[in-house]
Amino acid sequence: MFSGLSFNSLLVLVLTLQLVFYSIALVKVWFHVIMLMMVLEFLSISLFFCGAVLVVKSISPLLIFFLATLMVCEASMGLGLVVGLTRGRSNEAVII
């Protein structure tokens, strides 16, 4: 079925399907902060992985390491905010 596609085309197809899936998940769980953070983290990890695979020969490995470090810092800061929100209100659901 996918024998005519190159590796890059197949990777872009998988990334597009993941983006659609994560967008649907974001719409369904937008009021739960923890689930929202998890979906956003999965999205950023998949985008990072696909980007790193596609341009591994044209950029420095140090830049890839720097981007991965920024993703980890962003995830830990988001988790800290969610924990602070949950401790302060004892509920992590967003109320409009």
- The per-residue pLDDT for range 11-59, each reduced to its tens digit, is 778 878 888 887 887 787 777 777 777 777 777 777 777 777 777 767 7
Please calculate the CA angle 20-26-31 and round it to the nearest 5 degrees. 170
Name the band, by pLDDT with cuts 50, 70 and 90, for residue 70.
confident
Contact criterion met (CB below 8 Å) for 84 and 34? no
The whole-number pLDDT of residue 33 equals 73
Structural domain spans, the chain: 7-89
Query: Check: CATH 1.20.120 for 7-89?
Result: no
The whole-number pLDDT of residue 93 equals 65
Name the band, by pLDDT with cuts 50, 70 and 90, for residue 77.
confident
Residue 94: is its pLDDT beyond 70?
no
Residue 33's SS3 state is helix
